[in-house]
């Protein structure tokens, strides 16, 4: 599957769709051009510098969903916790 870089506007629309499908959080791995969406709050693993599910086999967990994007800089690896998709969409609607 080929990933095409999505604009901020395209990402917002994708996040809205993913939210309807059950995804709740969005993060970015360190120095990567991808946002990653999770259906449960992910954990930041400092040893691998990536985010992931604490228990990927738990009931209701959806496969992590990547979105190639480089212009959403407020979601980054160094954030203390994962960003709620609903909060990000609301804050983006407020600023735009």
What pLDDT band is residue 92 in, cutting at 50, 70 and 90? Answer: confident
pLDDT beyond 70 at 71: yes
- The confidence score (pLDDT) of residue 6 equals 96
What pLDDT band is residue 86 in, cutting at 50, 70 and 90? Answer: very high
- Provide the residue range defining the domain that includes 63: 8-95
Contacts of 30 (CB under 8 A, 6+ apart): 49, 50, 77, 78
Predicted confidence (pLDDT) per residue in 17-38, tens digit: 999 999 999 999 999 999 999 9
Residue 80 maps to a domain: yes
Average pLDDT over residues 75-86: 95
Residue 67 burial by Cβ neighbours in a 10 Å radius (0-12, 13-18, 19+): buried
Q: Give me the chain's average pLDDT, please.
A: 92
Residue 3 maps to a domain: no
Q: Which of 10-19, 27-36, 86-95 has the lowest mean pLDDT?
A: 86-95
Residue 69 maps to a domain: yes
| Number of domains within the chain | 1
Pick from 1-5, 38-42, 45-49 the range whose average pLDDT is largest: 38-42
Residue 2 maps to a domain: no
């Amino acid at each position: 599957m080929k990933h095409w870089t999505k604009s901020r506007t395209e990402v917002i629309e994708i996040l809205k769709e993913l939210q309807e499908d059950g995804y709740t959080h969005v993060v970015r791995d360190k120095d990567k051009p991808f946002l990653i969406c999770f259906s449960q709050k992910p954990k930041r693993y400092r040893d691998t510098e990536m985010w992931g599910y604490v228990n990927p086999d738990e009931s209701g967990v959806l496969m992590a969903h990547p979105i190639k994007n480089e212009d959403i800089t407020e979601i980054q690896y160094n954030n203390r916790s994962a960003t709620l998709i609903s909060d990000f969409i609301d804050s983006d609607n407020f600023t735009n």
